C-alpha cells in the first residue's frame, strides 16, 4: 500500500515539475485544448450513438478512423459551436479579450475579409487554370446543380475559417508571443494547426502536414499584414476552404495522371503536392508585398 502511495506521490511530483517547467503561454494553450476536448467528447459520443442508431455498435465507431462526410459534419459543427464559449471562459480566467486576438468589431474586418477572399479565390483559379493548360487536370460537368453545392459550402467555409482563425491566429498565437518571438510563436502555432487536422483523417492528412504548416505560417503573415487584425487571414482561409471543398464535393475536376502525384498532390489534395506548396509561397509573396505598401 505504501509503495502505491509512493508511486502516486512521485507521479504527482514529476507532473507538477513538468507543468512548472512549461512556459506560461504554452501551459495556457494546453489547458484550453484539453478543456475544449473534454467538453466536446461527451457531445461527440452522443452524436456517435445517434449516427449509429444502436449503442451496441458504438464500440466499432472510432474518432481516429476515417469518417464519412455525413458523420464529420455534425461532429465538426458541435466542436466549433462550443469553441468560442470555451475561449470566453479562458479569457475570463486569464483576464484577456477577443480584441487582443485581432477581432475588431467594425467594418474594417469585413473589408479585410473581402480582400483576403479575393486573393485566395484568384490564386486558386490561377493554380487550377495553369494545371488545366498543362493537361494535368480535366474538368467535368457536375451531376448536381452547382449552386446547391457552393452556397452551403461557402457558409460553412466562412464559419469554420472564422473559428479556426480566432483560435489559432488569434488566441494561440497571441498567447505564445508572451514567451516566444513572433517567428517561434508562428512556427509552434502552425504546427499545432497542422497536427490537429489528423483528428479527422490520418491517411490523406499526413502528406498534407508540410502544406498545412506552411498555410498556418501564411495566415500568420496575413494577420501581420492586417496590422494584427484577423480579417485578411479569415477571408483568405475562407476562400481556400470554399474552393477546394466545392471542387471535391461537386467532383468538378479529375487529375489526368500525366505527372506524378507529388506534383499535383497526393490523393488529389493540393496541399500535398509541389503545385500547392508553390501556390502558398506565391500567396505569401503577395501578402509580403502588401505589407510593404
Domain boundary among 96, 114, 141: 96
3-state secondary structure 216-246: HHHHHHHHHHCCCCCHHHHHHHHHHHHHHHH
pTM of the shown model: 0.86
CA distances from residue 273 to 72, 127, 261, 266 in whole angstroms, order as listed: 25, 12, 7, 6
**Claim to verify: residue 56 and residue 172 sit in the same structural domain:** no
**Claim to verify: residue 27 and residue 115 sit in the same structural domain:** no
**Claim to verify: residue 154 and residue 282 sit in the same structural domain:** yes
Helix (H) or strand (E) holding 255: strand 253-255
**Claim to verify: residue 222 and residue 270 sit in the same structural domain:** yes
80, 201 Cβ separation under 8 angstroms: no
The residues pairing with 138 across neighbouring beta strands, listed in sequence order, are 254
**Domain membership of residue 28 as a residue range:** 1-96
Would you give the DSSP letter of residue 33?
A: H
**Claim to verify: residue 79 and residue 119 sit in the same structural domain:** no
**Claim to verify: residue 142 and residue 55 sit in the same structural domain:** no
Tell me how far apart the alpha carbons of residues 195 and 261 are, in angstroms, rounded to a whole number: 22
First to last CA, the chain: 70
**Claim to verify: residue 243 and residue 273 sit in the same structural domain:** yes
Q: Pull the grid cell for residue 199.
A: 483528428
Provide the residue-wise pLDDT of the chain in tens; the chain has 293 residues. 545 454 445 555 444 444 454 567 888 899 899 999 999 989 888 887 777 664 444 444 444 455 566 667 788 888 999 999 999 988 888 888 888 898 888 888 999 999 999 999 999 999 999 999 999 999 987 766 777 788 889 999 999 999 999 999 999 999 999 999 999 999 999 999 999 998 878 888 999 999 999 999 999 999 999 999 999 999 999 999 999 999 988 888 999 989 999 999 999 899 999 999 999 999 999 999 988 77
Question: For the chain, what is the domain count?
Answer: 2
Amino acid at each position: 500500500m505504501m509503495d502505491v502511495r509512493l508511486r502516486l506521490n512521485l507521479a504527482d511530483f514529476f507532473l507538477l515539475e513538468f507543468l512548472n517547467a512549461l512556459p506560461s503561454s504554452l501551459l495556457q494553450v494546453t489547458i484550453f485544448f484539453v478543456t475544449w476536448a473534454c467538453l466536446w467528447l461527451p457531445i461527440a459520443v452522443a452524436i456517435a450513438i445517434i449516427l449509429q442508431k444502436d449503442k451496441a455498435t458504438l464500440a466499432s465507431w472510432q474518432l481516429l478512423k476515417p469518417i464519412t462526410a455525413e458523420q464529420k459534419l455534425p461532429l465538426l459543427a458541435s466542436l466549433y459551436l462550443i469553441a468560442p464559449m470555451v475561449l470566453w471562459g479562458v479569457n475570463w480566467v486569464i483576464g484577456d479579450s477577443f480584441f487582443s486576438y485581432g477581432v475588431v468589431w467594425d467594418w474594417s474586418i469585413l473589408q479585410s475579409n473581402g480582400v483576403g477572399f479575393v486573393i485566395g479565390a484568384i490564386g486558386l483559379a490561377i493554380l487550377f487554370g495553369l494545371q488545366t493548360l498543362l493537361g494535368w487536370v480535366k474538368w467535368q460537368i457536375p451531376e448536381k446543380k452547382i449552386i446547391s453545392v457552393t452556397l452551403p459550402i461557402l457558409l460553412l467555409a466562412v464559419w469554420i475559417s472564422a473559428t479556426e482563425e480566432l483560435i489559432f491566429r488569434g488566441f494561440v498565437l497571441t498567447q505564445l508571443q508572451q514567451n516566444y518571438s513572433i517567428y517561434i510563436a508562428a512556427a509552434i502555432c502552425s504546427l499545432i494547426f497542422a497536427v490537429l487536422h489528423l483528428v479527422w483523417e490520418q491517411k490523406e492528412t499526413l502528406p498534407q502536414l508540410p502544406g498545412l504548416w506552411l498555410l498556418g505560417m501564411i495566415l500568420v503573415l496575413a494577420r501581420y499584414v492586417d496590422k494584427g487584425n484577423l480579417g485578411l487571414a479569415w477571408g483568405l482561409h475562407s476562400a481556400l476552404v470554399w474552393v477546394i471543398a466545392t471542387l471535391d464535393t461537386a467532383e468538378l475536376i479529375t487529375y489526368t495522371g500525366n505527372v506524378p502525384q507529388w506534383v499535383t498532390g497526393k490523393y488529389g489534395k493540393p496541399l500535398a503536392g509541389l503545385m500547392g506548396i508553390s501556390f502558398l509561397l506565391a500567396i505569401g509573396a503577395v501578402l509580403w508585398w502588401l505589407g510593404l505598401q
